[in-house]
Amino acid sequence: MVAKQIATIDYLTNGRLILGTAVGWMEEEFQNLNVPFRNRGKRFEEAINLIRTLYANESPKFQGRYHKFADATFKPRSEDDPTIWFGGNSEIALRRAAKLADGWHPVGLAVDAYSSAARKLKIMLPSGKQFTLSLRILVDLEGKAKPYAGSGGDPRDVISGNRDHAIEMIQKYRDAGLEHLVCYFGDVELASLKRKMNQFAKELIPSFKK
């Protein structure tokens, strides 16, 4: 079902879909689905291979440890493989991303930690593989946001301060290897979100245009 949903969106957007995914960390979610938590990494890897198999063949077949099918039809689908980015920043998550993904997309990782992980990834990547280093981080140009803990308790940094400070921080991430930035402006009402987005577009984006 997930593969079909991905393929449909990818087809309707002319291949512009980027699928961001990871193995998950909340054991209760797996319990609710009656799926073992301990082998989630192996299941995840097989699921990614399954998705790519569906994309690569009009009449796909698959034989894995957890999934198998034959004589299937998979349409509509884009001609190119789906673009898949992995989250996570543990050693095994980085190795998994280097092996199976097209990009890495952690959340709220501090600059030093991001730089360290990016260096490791570049060593792990197969020679010549195209790969995007991304980041999702909270941006607050009013300077009120503080570092916080994610849902799983992991520490998350923020870009918080005036225009010059924000530009400096983003440049540090770029120097660390960042190629793609996703800005999160907080859980705010629509009018406030639009204001924050417009401010970012007006005050910061021009500084990074080539």
pLDDT band at 171 (very low <50, low <70, confident <90, very high): very high
Angle formed at CA 121 by CA 120 and CA 123, multiple of 5 degrees: 70
pLDDT tens digits for range 80-129? 788 999 999 899 999 999 999 999 999 999 999 999 999 999 999 999 99
**6: CB partners within 8 A, 6+ apart:** 17, 19, 51, 82
Number of domains into which the chain is organized: 2
- To the nearest whole number, what is the mean pLDDT of the chain? 91
Greater pLDDT, 190 or 2? 190
- The crossing angle, in degrees rounded to 10, of helices 40-56 and 91-100 is 10
pLDDT at residue 7 greater than cutoff 90: no
Confidence label for 57 from pLDDT (cuts 50, 70 and 90): confident
35: containing domain: 1-86
Out of 31, 54, 86, pick the residue that ends a domain.
Answer: 86
Where among 86, 121, 144 does a domain terminate?
86
Distances (CA, A) of 53 to 6, 29, 72, 74: 13, 27, 11, 10
pLDDT at residue number 210? 62
Tell me, yes or no, whether 94 lies in a domain.
no
pLDDT (0 to 100) of residue 26: 87
Q: How far apart are the first and last CA of the chain?
A: 40
**Residue 56 belongs to some domain of the structure:** yes
Residue 31 falls within a domain, yes or no? yes
Do 188 and 136 share a structural domain? Answer: yes
Please answer whether residues 137 and 157 qualify as being in contact, where contact means their C-beta atoms are separated by less than 8 angstroms.
Answer: yes
So what's the pLDDT on residue 11?
85
pTM above 0.95, yes or no: no
**Residue 126 DSSP label:** P
Q: Which of 119-128, 143-152, 172-181, 187-196 has the lowest mean pLDDT?
A: 143-152
Q: Is residue 171 part of a domain?
A: yes
Domain assignment of residue 104, yes or no: no
pLDDT in tens, 134-156: 999 999 999 999 988 887 778 89
Q: Which of 174, 170, 185, 166 is nearest to 133 (CA)?
A: 174
DSSP one-letter string for 53-90:
HHHH-SS--EE-SS-EE-S----S--SSPPEEEE---S
Amino acid at 121: L
Q: Identify the burial level of 106 via C-beta atoms within 10 angstroms of its C-beta, where 0-12 means exposed, 13-18 middle and 19 or more buried.
A: buried
Mean per-residue pLDDT, 2-18:
87
Chain Cα centroid distance, residue 20: 4
Residue 56's pLDDT is: 82
